[in-house]
Structure 1
Amino acid sequence: MIGYGEWVTTAPSPQLFTQDFWDDPHPVYAAMREQAPVHRLQLPTGMEMWLVTRYADARTALGDPRLSKRVGATANAAALAPQISGPLTRHLLANDPPDHTRLRRLVAKAFTARRVEQLRDRVEQLSAALVDAMRAGDRADVIDDYAVQLPIQVICELLGIPQDDQAEFRRWTGVLVAGSVDRSGVPEAAAQFLAYLRGLIATKRADPADDLLSALIASTDQGDRLDEDELTSMVFLLLIAGHETTVNLIGNGMWTLLTRPEEHRRLLRDPSLIPSAVEEFLRLESPVETATFRVAMEPVTYGGVTIPAGGVVAISLLSADRDPARFPNPAEVDLGRPDNQHLAFGHGIHYCLGAPLARLEAQIAFRDLLAAFPTMRLAVPASELIWRPGVLIHGTTTLPVQLR
């Protein structure tokens, strides 16, 4: 049995999945990319997996139909009873065609580009209110005071979820996304989340409103509609994906600027770069470190390494998007980087349905934060910041700043 965090290679093996690794994973990933395209690892929970690290292989694997999302390939599945895991794993990211095709078609009918664009005014209002609240002091925490608040308010309003419940979502999702390294709180958090979602859906069925959840309940396609478990699972996915990733997109982007003063000044001088800057933040410090797990349904080979049938496959988006074979000078920030086809939102049939909303929120966030606090700077040395543990999500736990 291999020890967790060890590479299965003949070279000396650095430790992965430690706090030092999470605080700066890039040197380790760079060494792994150089040594081999795929590595067999063991997570702290005991799960063994094959990690894909290079861009070309990652892009291929993300769209490879031989890798299944259906067969329990989640970090938390082993920690949950079937009556809990079942209703929470019927969503888009846990299904293959034809079920995935059907689910995406039904959800896309409710989660339209038009509905997202209609949110622009409301996102701007929420952002302005958060910025105004930050102005009350000279110091703030970009994560707690802004990056957490904006996306969770947006997704809760979009779904029609009471504002008073947002703190609970943050607690539940925080436990669940860290389940790849610490499963101790996963069963309780998942059970509480499931019970809440079932009650919420029942309420919306009885009293529909003009929100996404009511639209999902009513959405049909030639008489087809989401069943109860599919609905529950889809709302579960939207709540986690709809705020966890955007929290870290905003936080990681601000960290990038605050640790690179020249690029910070460049964006202040030319706000028209914000859309391309958001893409560069996504590439450079992807908020999703590793795509949700897949299982090889037959032997598959990437870069000359064969993963056996039944192998759990993880695809490192964070590593792939710094592959020098695809991106020149990948560790450098280029706010106007051309041809920035990063993998932060995935690729293929599982490409993130919420990407337009995440981009909208992030562009408004950087516009407003930079305009309101042009002299913002870190309030502590960058070396003191702690990055979140876990295989799925990449972001700082806090980002204390001096506003003036």
Structure 2
Amino acid sequence: MSENPQADATPAPFPFPDGPMASPPPEFARRRAVCPLSEVTLPTGDRAMVAVKHADIQQIMSDDRRFSRDLSAPDAPRLFHNLLMLEDPTILLNMHGEDHLRLRRILASAFTPRRAEQRRPEIQESIDAVLDEMEQSGRPADLMFFAYKLPTRLTCRMLAIPEEDAEQLLKWVSAWLSFSMPREELDKAAADFNDYVVALTRRRRAEPGDALIDHLISARDVDDRLSEEELVSTIRTLIIGGNETIANSISRMMFTLLRQRDLWETLQKDRSLIPAAIEELLRHNPPGGGATGLMRLATEDVELVSGAGTIRAGQAVFTPLVAAAYDPEAFPEPEQVRFDRPKSPSTMQFGAGRHFCLGVHLARTELELMLTALLDRFPDLRLAKEPEDLRWSDGSYGVTMLELPVVW
């Protein structure tokens, strides 16, 4: 294979089209076989490399010295124009180097496994309340509606946000992840969202309690604590990630389980499989789709471990997680859902390297309790529509389900 198979004269547009029912883009499998490192053209017109092998994606995501997340330069490549989530240099996702490490150290105390376990009762209480509403709503019920309602309710409780503000929060989250809204509307949404979080932190300082927001306000690393801007940015990010990621994880997991009924029956018989099932379901049908991943800049020439080629200093490279998750060298028969897959290699659905998700323990706890509750309360749950008739979104960062009607 040539050292630089990526040198195409006319790079293909990226993201690649998804397969049926938001399944992984077929182009990933083709490129994995013939050009596992290649150049593409992003929606902004910028160019970037795309790696599609698990070993290469793990190498890139884990190497924080030679692959930087600092894309703050005006001429740095962008995946989308007008995407607030990827424009904000103050959020942890977009930081690199010492500032990123310092912020993680301060926040780590609020996101330990122990704190996630301590929150089990309030998570369970929220799940029970949401499923009560679902049961009372009548059949068919839209599970997508309740998939959003649960993390929104939890986010409000953990951040001491009045529940009546939940609908407005979801509108701001939607704007933060949209690349199709007019710029004027995006800027207004960003300013209003920021003002709301600033007012929220001021109220909580005046009346502190024991919610997650209070731990964030008091979090420190030795004598260092979050600046006001960092605190506001962190809370804003938690509202976005705590809603969108969890809602779409729940909906895609349930779509897979109800579409492949034998999987649902397997978990009904053996609940000890639930933690492994969550990891496998997230691998098989991850939230976001084929464009989910992070861009990085190479700080020096790096030869990829698979032998696919070399990423040159200054080149941007995108690491689509679903491409890694469907690499048969890492996951034999990747199209199959197998709850007995080994724990290694990692699916990387919660990241890798220094950008590994801080909220992973909380997210796993929420997903585990939600899946258990659905199995307990709705053993006969099934889809109310044919899978191919369900509607999916467009125009935002990550493809989501627009509906998931179910009966029981």
Query: Do Structure 1 and Structure 2 share a fold, with TM-score over 0.5?
Result: yes
What residue is the counterpart of 2:322 in the other structure? 318
Deviation, structure 1 residue 24: 3.1
Distance 1:183 1:44, change over 3 A: farther
Contact kept in structure 2, 1:248 and 1:287, CA below 8 Å: yes
Supply the distance in 2 between the matched residues of 1:201 and 1:192 (Cα, whole angstroms).
15
What residue is the counterpart of 1:58 in the other structure? 57
Supply the distance in 2 between the matched residues of 1:351 and 1:390 (Cα, whole angstroms).
27
Deviation, structure 1 residue 332: 0.2
What residue ranges of structure 1 are gaps of 5+ in the alignment? Answer: 1-6
Q: Map residues 106-121 of structure 1 onto 2, 5 A cutoff.
A: 106-121=106-121
Task: Tell me if 1:335 matches 2:346.
Answer: no
What residue is the counterpart of 1:354 in the other structure? 359
Contact kept in structure 2, 1:294 and 1:312, CA below 8 Å: yes
Supply the distance in 2 between the matched residues of 1:390 and 1:21 (Cα, whole angstroms).
18
Q: Map residues 209-220 of structure 1 onto 2, 5 A cutoff.
A: 209-220=209-220
Contact kept in structure 2, 1:42 and 1:49, CA below 8 Å: yes
Supply the distance in 2 between the matched residues of 1:257 and 1:219 (Cα, whole angstroms).
39
What residue is the counterpart of 2:295 in the other structure? 293
**Match for 2:178: what amino acid?**
A
Task: Tell me if 1:43 matches 2:42.
Answer: yes
What residue is the counterpart of 1:196 in the other structure? 196
What residue is the counterpart of 2:308 in the other structure? 304
Supply the distance in 2 between the matched residues of 1:123 and 1:339 (Cα, whole angstroms).
26
What residue is the counterpart of 1:246 in the other structure? 246
Distance 1:93 1:11, change over 3 A: closer
**Match for 2:340: what amino acid?**
G
Task: Tell me if 1:143 matches 2:150.
Answer: no
What residue ranges of structure 2 are gaps of 5+ in the alignment? Answer: 1-5
Supply the distance in 2 between the matched residues of 1:14 and 1:33 (Cα, whole angstroms).
17
C-alpha deviations, 1:206-234, integer Å up to 9, x for none? 33222222222222222211112111111
Q: Map residues 69-84 of structure 1 onto 2, 5 A cutoff.
A: 69-72=69-72, 79=82
Moved more, 358-367 or 388-397: 388-397
Distance 1:14 1:288, change over 3 A: closer
Contact kept in structure 2, 1:273 and 1:335, CA below 8 Å: yes
C-alpha deviations, 1:311-349, integer Å up to 9, x for none? 332211111011101011111011232225211001111
What residue is the counterpart of 1:31 in the other structure? 30
Contact kept in structure 1, 2:51 and 2:57, CA below 8 Å: yes
Contact kept in structure 2, 1:245 and 1:393, CA below 8 Å: no
Deviation, structure 1 residue 391: 7.5
Supply the distance in 2 between the matched residues of 1:128 and 1:235 (Cα, whole angstroms).
25
What residue is the counterpart of 2:259 in the other structure? 259
Deviation, structure 1 residue 397: 2.1
- Secondary structure, aligned partner of 2:358: coil
Deviation, structure 1 residue 77: 8.7
Supply the distance in 2 between the matched residues of 1:152 and 1:8 (Cα, whole angstroms).
45
Supply the distance in 1 between the matched residues of 2:280 and 2:250 (Cα, whole angstroms).
12
- Secondary structure, aligned partner of 1:349: helix
- The number of residue pairs the alignment matches comes to 392
Supply the distance in 1 between the matched residues of 2:11 and 2:104 (Cα, whole angstroms).
44
**Match for 1:173: what amino acid?**
V
Moved more, 244-253 or 206-215: 206-215
- Secondary structure, aligned partner of 1:98: helix
Task: List structure 1 runs of 4+ shifted beyond 4 angstroms.
Answer: 7-22, 73-78, 181-185
Deviation, structure 1 residue 253: 0.6
What residue is the counterpart of 1:221 in the other structure? 221
What residue is the counterpart of 1:280 in the other structure? 280
Distance 1:74 1:352, change over 3 A: farther
Moved more, 39-48 or 100-109: 39-48
Q: Map residues 375-394 of structure 1 onto 2, 5 A cutoff.
A: 375-389=380-394, 392-394=397-399
- Secondary structure, aligned partner of 1:107: helix
Supply the distance in 1 between the matched residues of 2:77 and 2:177 (Cα, whole angstroms).
10
What residue is the counterpart of 1:232 in the other structure? 232
Distance 1:171 1:311, change over 3 A: farther
**Match for 1:114: what amino acid?**
R
Supply the distance in 1 between the matched residues of 2:308 and 2:14 (Cα, whole angstroms).
24
Contact kept in structure 1, 2:46 and 2:77, CA below 8 Å: no
Supply the distance in 1 between the matched residues of 2:37 and 2:178 (Cα, whole angstroms).
23
- Secondary structure, aligned partner of 2:317: strand
**Match for 2:387: what amino acid?**
A
What residue is the counterpart of 2:97 in the other structure? 97
Contact kept in structure 1, 2:42 and 2:79, CA below 8 Å: no
- Secondary structure, aligned partner of 2:55: helix
Supply the distance in 2 between the matched residues of 1:104 and 1:74 (Cα, whole angstroms).
25
C-alpha deviations, 1:65-122, integer Å up to 9, x for none? 22212233795896489xx998x43232222232111111101123332222111011
Supply the distance in 2 between the matched residues of 1:361 and 1:367 (Cα, whole angstroms).
10
